[in-house]
Chains A and B, each alone.
Chain A
């Protein structure tokens, strides 16, 4: 029997996952919580084998950060990171934090039970890429890695001067990237750009 901890800020999702797992005799849900920061404590004396971890959880606590801590202290616990957000950086961040698998709740063909079974068998199940969303005239996979970093910095409220420091690039390079991004998207201002990327959840500034 696999003991499962569910972490998701949506009560509807928590209940739905619990129901799906209860339908299988292989899984037992120990508890379901809404705040990822509490997940490590739940692992302390309970025998948790698998965590279904949402990325954006209650009180803006990041599931990826929590997963990193848990993997450090409890490396045997399997973690499936899950999200409905197309944020481009989540897959890489989840890999960096040591998670075992990654599941898009609303995209892809893999069912929850299938990904749980495969993960518990020792497979690492990862999507090839994050979902593509349209930003103005451009598709999200048309942006370079550097351009996405510049967009993230803009979405976090950074000024061009701040971006030169945080990304270690010159002012001219920042302007060059911004010009290219605006050309690709067809937007006239960075404010339009930022509003669109946040609305489409390509970038979540807090995560």
Chain B
């Protein structure tokens, strides 16, 4: 019996010693905040903050939480703390302390564990990390703009090279024509010169419209191709004005058109557009066979769904006397 008691006492002393040697402040409390076990470190820091040691852990936590202490600093850890509550405190000398509370479920009941740790260095590094990340975000944005400018400059450069080539052809033709006019004889190459002039003139006309085609309307070509395959696209309602929304609308029409013609033999596609609270609600139906019983979402529809969702839009397919595509396109986002 004595040996058992001595063993338990020895065990308790070992635990006590381990808690005292724990590098951070630590305290375990029973219900109502009654401390069961705490070390000197947590008592010292609580004394420094509240003027008393841990006599009631719940009360100290409330004092910390109610903001009675000065300078609550934000949690910079960015970690998720399931079942753990956390408060960060800045002391007058600039030290940052982190207090954590978690519930431990034991066989004998529930115990609350409180921990206090000096995270001054961690906080400093965390703050630096946030600043660096902000700086990096700024750099990435500048990089994105720079890349866009490079792409645009490349387009302009391409146009310039084309114009230079046309002007060079033009110069050569002028010399050839002058030489031809100076020679009195008829020549078999005359028709070649005429053809070359026609080509240069066409190129010059096209080059001058090249800049317009960079931002060409996405509508005309799709509607022309649709007509070419014998399917007419009709619109009810006003199409969006912004280019981004318009591109999404035509991506949806393209997909609906492909499916309506391929799977239902449609020759007319109706696109109904409504503008509702900052978004464009589109319903697309074909006049083809109405025998569809299910919709298999393959590459095309999945791509469209991904593209719409990336821009904050949505896609819904429905079978209602044929296949109906419902598309939501956000407006006013650039």
Which residues of A come within 8 Å of B, CB atoms? 9-12, 15-16, 19, 31, 33-35, 37-38, 40-42, 44-46, 58-59, 69, 72-73, 84, 155, 157, 159, 191, 194-195, 198-199, 201, 205
Q: Is B199 an interface residue (CB 8 A)?
A: yes
Q: Is B282 an interface residue (CB 8 A)?
A: no
| Cβ–Cβ contact A11 & B209, under 8 A | yes
| Cβ–Cβ contact B147 & A45, under 8 A | no
- List the B residue with the shortest CB-CB distance to A196: B150
- 23 interchain pairs, CB-CB under 8 A: A10-B210, A11-B210, A31-B228, A33-B225, A34-B213, A34-B216, A35-B218, A35-B221, A37-B254, A41-B225, A41-B258, A46-B228, A46-B229, A58-B216, A59-B218, A69-B300, A73-B262, A157-B144, A157-B147, A194-B143, A195-B147, A198-B150, A199-B153
| Cβ–Cβ contact A194 & B147, under 8 A | yes
Q: Is B136 an interface residue (CB 8 A)?
A: yes
Chain B min CB distance to A64 (Å) = 14
| Cβ–Cβ contact B300 & A38, under 8 A | no
Q: Is B280 an interface residue (CB 8 A)?
A: no
- By Cβ-Cβ distance, the 6 closest A-B pairs, closest first, are A45-B229, A11-B206, A12-B206, A198-B150, A38-B225, A44-B229
Q: Is B13 an interface residue (CB 8 A)?
A: no
What chain A residues lie within 8 Å of B136 (beta carbons)? Answer: 159
Q: Is B230 an interface residue (CB 8 A)?
A: yes
Interface hits, B161-184 → A, CB 8 Å: 162
Q: Is B317 an interface residue (CB 8 A)?
A: no
Chain A min CB distance to B45 (Å) = 35
Which residues of B come within 8 Å of A, CB atoms? 136, 139-140, 143-144, 146-147, 150-151, 153-154, 158, 162, 199, 202-203, 206-207, 209-210, 213, 216, 218, 221-222, 225-226, 228-230, 247, 251, 254, 257-258, 261-262, 299-300
The main secondary structure of chain A at its interface with chain B is helix
A-B contact count (CB 8 A): 90
Report the Cα distance A194→B143, complex, angstroms.
Answer: 9
What chain A residues lie within 8 Å of B247 (beta carbons)? Answer: 59
| Cβ–Cβ contact B210 & A41, under 8 A | no
- List the A residue with the shortest CB-CB distance to B144: A157
Report the Cα distance A195→B140, complex, angstroms.
Answer: 12
Chain B min CB distance to A188 (Å) = 14
Report the Cα distance A201→B154, complex, angstroms.
Answer: 9
| Cβ–Cβ contact A157 & B225, under 8 A | no
What chain A residues lie within 8 Å of B203 (beta carbons)? Answer: 12, 15-16
